[in-house]
Structure 1
């Protein structure tokens, strides 16, 4: 589903980042920096964004290039799923965010649910590991893996977070407008399928 130009730009950025990390020859470093600049130019040309902004967001990392990891928690109560309203776009998502260094995926899910919704949960099952490019999300400058973890509600009360303005539970046929950069309708439906058929094996791309 990913546009070819975006795929190429990300591949060039990955090659450049890894080359800049491991190369010692000054001429090779110059070539890899040129490759990185080409990837930034491609992003700027296609998006209309300022090259400085793109470089800060897209070409600012060091070390071997690897995918980013986004963790989302599926929490159910009375056959309804917990969702939070994002302040950034005014739409709804499963609680979650970038994985934190030093925390396991389940610890990230538990932390994000508490911070964004006020509820206390226990992680019980990995539902799926999805590659964002294989699903109908908006284009992203990053290569992202999305982990969906089912969590059991154990306490707490609905509380707005720093990044969230509302907290609520929704039935599968009454979903609110979704923040599709974070989760799609098909991914929410996937979570409900595991609720109804907990014996299903973990999905992965």
Structure 2
């Protein structure tokens, strides 16, 4: 779970950016701009990174600030789960990524699996909806809702890793490779196996 100070700084940043979107008074705008700058300095200090990197991660104002959406696919076959090797850190994760505007959560997940692993799947069910800040992922200046879906393969075609990843493969829960923890943690994979084994379980929702 992320620190309370980081949570406060992120919330302060979101309130400032939302205020900048709606405010009409020039003096209010100046106050919101100062609050925004202070919140970014707080996040930079807490993460021991340059404030410019925080500004780059947050991007330009988007109006009313809301959490980002990340979708992940759990494809389990013969007691093993499909993982892809990320180019950014050389570690492994369930296929997935940012949700795209204009595409449903399920269709986003199907698209990500195809692009990263070359596998055709269908989404069978949501098994977890997590607020990233509440779990054991590394701290992040962005706020995320993470959606985890169980998926089923539509054919037996061989894996064909796309240009976004280095490799793809199946792993047993007891022989997992180093995980790309900003994207997936061991608990996510354990929950995927548990829900695959018992379809009657209620989804985990923060």
Q: TM-score, normalised by structure 1?
A: 0.96
* Superposition RMSD in Å: 1.1
Stretches of structure 1 that go unaligned for 5 or more consecutive residues are none
Contact 2:57 2:142 in 1 (8 A): no
Runs (5+) with no aligned partner, structure 2:
none
SS of corresponding position for 2:174: helix
Counterpart CA distance in 2 for 1:47 and 1:2 is 11
CA distance in 2: counterparts of 1:29 and 1:202, whole angstroms: 42
How far residue 53 of structure 1 moved from its aligned partner, in angstroms, is 2.5
- Contact kept? 1:76, 1:82, Cα under 8 Å: yes
Counterpart in the other structure of 2:197: 196
Q: Could you tell me how far apart the structure 1 residues matched to 2:181 and 2:162 are?
A: 20
In structure 2, the residue matched to 1:166 is 167
> Does structure 1 conserve the Cα–Cα contact (< 8 Å) formed by 2:10 and 2:43?
no
Q: How many residues align?
A: 205
Residues 89 and 180 in structure 2, CA contact (< 8 A), matched pair in contact too:
yes
2:185 corresponds to which residue?
184
Q: What CA deviation, in whole Å up to 9, does each residue of 1:19-41 have, x standing for no partner?
A: 00100000001100000000111
How much has 1:198 moved relative to structure 2?
Answer: 1.0
How many angstroms apart in 2 are the aligned matches of 1:115 and 1:102? 18
Distance in 2 (alpha carbons) for counterparts of 1:45 and 1:194: 39
Query: Quick one: distance in 1 between partners of 2:75 and 2:140?
Result: 26
Shift of residue 56, structure 1, vs aligned partner: 2.1
CA–CA separation in structure 2 for the residues paired with 1:35 and 1:162: 40
Q: Which deviates more from structure 2 when the two are superposed, residues 46-55 or residues 113-122?
A: 46-55
* 1:147-200 C-alpha deviation (Å, 9 max, x unpaired): 001110013421122221111011111111111110110110000001111111
- The SS at the match of 2:70 is strand
Report if aligned partners of 1:84, 1:117 keep a CA contact under 8 Å in 2.
yes
